[in-house]
Amino acid sequence: MQLEEFSFIMIQHYLHLSIAMFLLGLTGLFFFRRSLIMMLVALEIVLLSVSLNFIIFSNYLDDFQGQLFSLLILTVAGAESSIGLALLVVYHKMTGVISAFELTQLKG
């Protein structure tokens, strides 16, 4: 057996990785409802798996638009997590607790 047979990774392997990441993120969103930081991390995993799908199919179809869209997704995800973490820091300074159930009592 030659090295080329083992180094070739098919598109199905990448798709399985992306599906596993997506499901891991969804389960994280459902199981970590109390911790807002873990919910943000799970949401980032979901966005990364979607971005990985765009990169996979962009490479498979020889199209550059999927990679550009993936870059846009990563930019939005970075901005979302930085704003979310900043809001959590301010909320923690005000109340001393970071809990999703405590956020339902906010008045604005």
> Tens digit of pLDDT for each residue in 74-95?
999 999 889 988 988 888 888 8
Residues in the chain, pLDDT under 70: 1-8, 104-108
β strands within 37-98, DSSP E: none
- Report the chain's terminal Cα–Cα distance, integer Å: 67
Are 14 and 52 within 8 A, CB to CB?
yes
Beta carbons of 106 and 65 less than 8 angstroms apart: no
Residue 81 lies in a domain: yes
Instruction: Select from 15, 12, 85 the least CA-distant residue to 44.
Output: 85
Total domain count for the chain?
A: 1
Q: Which amino acid is at 69?
A: F
Q: Is residue 61 part of a domain?
A: yes
Residue 77 lies in domain: 14-105
Model confidence, pTM: 0.80
Q: Name the DSSP letter for residue 33.
A: S
